Amino acid sequence: MKSRSSEYMATDSGRSQRHLEDELGECRVEDVEIRLAELDMLQSSA
């Protein structure tokens, strides 16, 4: 059974690295938006 990381290593490393960075960047943006939404709810209820 292959792990995801070994599949990434088997492909072109430059392209897969950019792909991983793109995914991490998107996750970070979603995290920030969720936190901002939570702060807005807290402030409006206070």
- pLDDT tens, N- to C-terminus, the chain (46 residues): 455 555 555 556 566 667 777 776 666 778 888 899 999 999 888 7
Q: What pLDDT score does 2 carry?
A: 53
The CA-atom distances, in angstroms, between 4 and each of 16, 20, 23, 24 are 11, 11, 14, 15
- Tokens at 18, concatenated: 């950019």
Query: Which of 24, 21, 20 is CA-nearest to residue 7?
Result: 20
Q: What pLDDT score does 3 carry?
A: 56
Q: What pLDDT score does 14 carry?
A: 61
Work out whether the CA dihedral 8, 11, 15, 19 comes out positive or negative.
Answer: negative
pTM over 0.85: no
Domain ranges of the chain: 17-46
